[in-house]
Structure 1
Amino acid sequence: MRMTIRQGMAAALTVAGLAGMGALAAPAQAEAGYDRCPAARFCIFSEPNGGGRIAYFRLGSTDLRLQNMDGQVHSLWNRTSQWWQGYTEYNYRGGVIFNVNPGLQSNVPSDVAPQIHSVRGV
């Protein structure tokens, strides 16, 4: 079943992409949206469409609890030139729940979001 979820997430993110250890977390702002994501960073958001809280990374996070984003990644934008992966456990362990290509901006399926506990560029 994990393989199906990962494959489904990869396919969903790839389709969405065709359509359209340093980290910082910022509180929700009046101007919600993907445009808050700084250049050359991988950004995650606590709500769909770049809404809610934002955390952004150059390298990744072994534990998204540190950014108050654990299991709450509902959208993302990869503004880096490398691929990024999300993991089902802390410290980049467990299954790879998503692979995000450079430039991808996408919502994360609601059944996948609670399973994301660490992220890193690969």
Structure 2
Amino acid sequence: MKVTSVSVRAALVVGSAAAAAALAITPSQAATGYARCPAGKLCVFSGTNGSGVIGIFSTGDVDLGAAPGPSGLNNNIESVWNRSSSNFAFYPERNYNGGSADGISELVPRTAKATFYPKFRNTTSSIKKLG
């Protein structure tokens, strides 16, 4: 078979169309780590650096151990990203109790993104929006 510029161009067009079709049916990459946290929300994670189970909050939760709410996060939060415009307080007991003299175990200001210090990891049972 004689190769001509027309047959080469036809092969390129067919090959390009097949590649485009393959790209069109490939599922998009799911967000990972901190990138899973939507704008305007407080997100907590069961692992460091935004890994593990994610909990997404608008107002907090009086008891992370009770339903409804994200499963598996009671005393199992290691990192946080506060993408909201409010501060949040984290408490070691349900109903916003326990912690230091002011009752708060950890204060997470708006825009904060971090892994908790080891002494604050896996100690949160309730989360309260402070305003």
Q: What TM-score, normalized by structure 1, do the two folds share?
A: 0.71
Bigger strand share: 1
Note the C-alpha offset of 1:73.
0.6
Paired residue type of 2:112: L
Counterpart Cα distance in 1 of 2:108 and 2:119? 17
Instruction: Give 2:105's aligned residue.
Output: 97
- Please list every run of 5 or more consecutive structure 2 residues that lacks an aligned counterpart in the other structure: 1-29
Helix, strand or coil: the match of 1:120? strand
Paired residue type of 2:38: P
Structure 1 segments (4+ residues) deviating >3 Å: none
Identity of aligned residues (%): 33
**Does 2:53 align with 1:45?**
no
Aligned length: 93
Within 5 A, what are the aligned runs for 1:1-122?
A: 31-66=31-66, 67=70, 68-95=72-99, 96-122=104-130
Q: What TM-score, normalized by structure 2, do the two folds share?
A: 0.67
Instruction: Give 1:13's aligned residue.
Output: none
Higher CA-based Rg: 2
Is the contact between residue 32 and residue 52 of structure 1 (CA under 8 Å) also seen in structure 2?
Answer: no
Counterpart Cα distance in 2 of 1:116 and 1:89? 7
Note the C-alpha offset of 1:31.
4.4
